[in-house]
A and B are shown apart, each in its own frame.
Chain A
Amino acid sequence: MNPLHSSSAFLRSLTRTLATLPAYQAGTALADAPPAFTEVGVRYSHYSEDDIDASSVIFGATSRYDIDITQLWIEAPVGASWSVALDVQNDYQTGASPWFVGTDQSGEPGVIMSGASIQDNRVEVGVATRYFWADGNAGLNVSHSDEDDYEALSVGFDASWNSASNTRTWTTSVSSSHDKVNPSQGVIPVFVTNEELDTQSGYFGVSQILSRSAIVRVGLNYTYSDGYLSDPYKLNDQRPQSHERIALSAGYRHFLIDANASVQFDYRYYADSWGVDSHTVELGWAQHYERSTLTPFFRYYSQREADFYQVIADLSESHFADDYRLSSYGAVTLGARWAINLGDWTIELEGERYWSDADWGLYDGDSAPALVDFWRGTVAIIWRFD
């Protein structure tokens, strides 16, 4: 047993109070400084959509997407003020998705699925560098992703700086992406070749330490996309050639000293030029143990449909789409994260279950027959060394 670990009530209570000060928190820097250690990590995630209800399907299989995501990253300090990072991610996707929504013999809307299962592999490679000074840090990142039918190149810059008292941090970022879309001809016919899309995004946010046990943050994001924005694998999908989006986010964390736990609250409001707006609320409880933190969480999402969304697309309109992701619906997620600290190694586990239903949303709208339920599991192993 470590002779410096005392079980006395006095020292346990003092230690809990000290834990609210950055000087006594592992992983919290007093001054902005590059990471003290090199970090190597690998993460695997499996995403699996439930089969679509057979009664909603007019034609095609009921099984939907499965996605396996594997990510490998390394981040290392360079000199006294820099760090570099390399991130490689591979997504392997199989399954079928709704092709379009039609009506069955009784006139009810139903889904025609895409037929045979697709297999698609995407590889994304990103490099980043970051510079640290006493009151902040700034980073530059470049990433390239490539798959059979889609290629994207993006560049981003971000910076954050702290107030003199270290109680307030401002953060800003800008990014630009150029994408090329060249859909694959497969079981379903595709009528699009060689399209392009440009996206610019900016973010500004601030976090404020309110007290020794509470911190709040707010942020505003603006994104503008221009180019081909429709889904080439949907038969009836013709979206505007531009898309503006804003997202306002806020978060609050409160550390409960006696419980050795943190309450987490996050809210996000989203609105775009297509008429979609949404609310996301997430509540979490992070329970800290000697070597791990367990965080069960609950998330609620509600979305209003896009102006041009119809359950069965109206092809006489200039814009139309029957994609369930543009419909009105609500969704609930239950999940948990578990981070286990084993000295130089950290293991992170996460699982979540998602359900969606048109009647759960705050907005009225026609019920899309292809709303999805899914579960996702993630495991990550991280190694830090100097």
Chain B
Amino acid sequence: MGGPATLVITPPIGRSATGVSLASKVQSHLETLERRYSRYLTDSLVSTINRRAGSGDFTHLDPESETLLEIADQLWRSSGGLFDITSGVLRKAWRFDTANTPVDLSQLEALKKKVGWDKVKRTGEGVYLPVKGMEIDLGGLAKEYAADCAVRLLRDHGVTSALIELAGDVATIGSQPSGRPWRVGIRAPQGGDPVGGIALSNAAAATSGNYARTLQFEGRTYGHLLNPLTGWPVEGPTSVTVIGENCLSAGAVTTIACLQSPKAAMAWLSEAGLPWLMIAQDAGYSGPLASKLGLSPP
């Protein structure tokens, strides 16, 4: 899925399943999901959908894929169009790779014509991208879904204590073997020590942010989250962390928050009603978790 993974499992007592065998089962399932949803694999479902853009051919969906696209649709509607899984093509104009390839805004207008979840056709036949060059990217959703699947799989094998981390999103089962909740650090955007630690037990924490990949353009620093409506990077919060019952729900809230202005993000996070921490670009902290961690408000 393009990111690091950490798995901590306490094997269930009284069963012959070892941590290694359970980790192997989790890895196998994650690989199955990657083969289905990775845009980097040419024979994945996502790559097949993208390859057929503009060809007239629908791609049939299994119930799981159909539901993930339904979730993408809900997030698109709830975010006023800001969460858009077709916006990935804009990366061709804003290249956040390490080579720091110059920004090529000449492509932007042409690329914007290939963006728009409302253009995507979903029928009983499956899904179809009507514009040649259109792409969908389920990376964000699929990663959080994969973490939740790992939790389900481990619970089914009787695991009552585990932690799964996939590229910064964390899901936990129970508490540590000592009985204390799992302690998860919230990364500081500027690097260095975490800004604080949160206690998780049978909960998940997702973090979205603009700080991990940036580029310099015309004297300004831009984060990698792109506004699908304008084609330009979002000037939103630096980082948002939310705790929820599962990774996908928490991640949906953080992602939509980071696509808005800090002021709109605060209103969105308050309305969502889950414990949250927002770090704004002036390094101010806000949200119920800020108070809990003793972090200063902006």
On A, residues with C-beta under 8 Å from B are 3-8, 10-11, 13-15, 17-18, 20-24, 29-31, 33-34, 36-37, 77, 79-81, 134, 165, 167, 209-212, 386
Contact yes or no, A29 B156, CB < 8 A: yes
Residues of chain B within 8 A of A14, CB atoms compared: 71, 74, 248-249, 252
A329 to B160, CA, bound (A): 54
The listed residue (A6, A15, A20, A33) touching B67 by CB distance below 8 A is A20
- Given that A30-B156, A36-B158 are contacting pairs, would A11 and B273 also be in contact in the complex, using a CB cutoff of 8 Å? yes
Q: Tell me the minimal C-beta distance from A159 to chain B in angstroms.
A: 19
The listed residue (B25, B74, B153, B272) touching A6 by CB distance below 8 A is B272
Contact yes or no, A33 B156, CB < 8 A: yes
Q: Tell me the minimal C-beta distance from B139 to chain A in angstroms.
A: 18
Residues of chain B within 8 A of A34, CB atoms compared: 158
Contact yes or no, B63 A209, CB < 8 A: yes
Assess whether B209 is interfacial by the CB under 8 Å rule: no
Interface string of B229-265 (1 = CB under 8 A from A): 0000000000000011110110011000000000000
Q: Tell me the minimal C-beta distance from B16 to chain A in angstroms.
A: 4
A34 to B15, CA, bound (A): 11
From 148 to 163 in chain B, residues with beta carbon under 8 angstroms from any chain A beta carbon are 148-149, 151-153, 155-158, 160
- Given that A3-B274, A6-B274 are contacting pairs, would A24 and B70 also be in contact in the complex, using a CB cutoff of 8 Å? no
Q: Specify the main secondary structure of chain A where it touches its partner.
A: loop
Assess whether B21 is interfacial by the CB under 8 Å rule: yes
Contact yes or no, B156 A11, CB < 8 A: no
Residues of chain B within 8 A of A80, CB atoms compared: 15-17, 21, 157
A3 to B273, CA, bound (A): 8
A21 to B62, CA, bound (A): 11
Q: Tell me the minimal C-beta distance from B71 to chain A in angstroms.
A: 6
Assess whether B275 is interfacial by the CB under 8 Å rule: yes
Assess whether B66 is interfacial by the CB under 8 Å rule: yes
Number of B positions contacting A (CB below 8 A)? 41
Contact yes or no, B15 A6, CB < 8 A: no
Q: Tell me the minimal C-beta distance from A32 to chain B in angstroms.
A: 9
Contact yes or no, B153 A31, CB < 8 A: yes
Residues of chain B within 8 A of A167, CB atoms compared: 62-63
Contact yes or no, A36 B274, CB < 8 A: no
A21 to B153, CA, bound (A): 13
Q: Tell me the minimal C-beta distance from A199 to chain B in angstroms.
A: 36
The listed residue (B153, B203, B273, B274) touching A30 by CB distance below 8 A is B153
- Given that A17-B70, A18-B71, A30-B156 are contacting pairs, would A11 and B149 also be in contact in the complex, using a CB cutoff of 8 Å? no
Q: What residue in chain B is nearest A36 (Cβ atoms)?
A: B158
Residues of chain A within 8 A of B271, CB atoms compared: 8, 10
Given contact pairs A18-B71, A18-B248, A22-B152, a sample of 17 additional A-B residue pairs in the complex whose CB atoms are under 8 Å apart: A3-B243, A4-B203, A4-B274, A6-B272, A8-B272, A10-B271, A14-B71, A18-B67, A18-B249, A20-B67, A21-B64, A33-B156, A36-B157, A80-B16, A81-B16, A212-B64, A212-B70
- Given that A13-B74, A209-B63 are contacting pairs, would A33 and B157 also be in contact in the complex, using a CB cutoff of 8 Å? yes
Interface string of B54-82 (1 = CB under 8 A from A): 00000000111011001100100010000
Residues of chain B within 8 A of A209, CB atoms compared: 63
Q: What residue in chain A is nearest B65 (Cβ atoms)?
A: A212
Contact yes or no, A211 B153, CB < 8 A: no
Q: Tell me the minimal C-beta distance from A371 to chain B in angstroms.
A: 45
Residues of chain A within 8 A of B91, CB atoms compared: none
Q: Tell me the minimal C-beta distance from A15 to chain B in angstroms.
A: 7
Contact yes or no, B156 A36, CB < 8 A: yes
Q: Tell me the minimal C-beta distance from B129 to chain A in angstroms.
A: 21
Q: What residue in chain B is nearest A25 (Cβ atoms)?
A: B152
Q: Tell me the minimal C-beta distance from A324 to chain B in angstroms.
A: 46
Residues of chain A within 8 A of B96, CB atoms compared: none
Residues of chain B within 8 A of A30, CB atoms compared: 29, 149, 152-153, 156
Residues of chain B within 8 A of A11, CB atoms compared: 244, 249, 253, 272-274
Assess whether B285 is interfacial by the CB under 8 Å rule: no
Q: Tell me the minimal C-beta distance from A234 to chain B in angstroms.
A: 50
Interface string of B139-176 (1 = CB under 8 A from A): 00000010011011101111010000000000000000
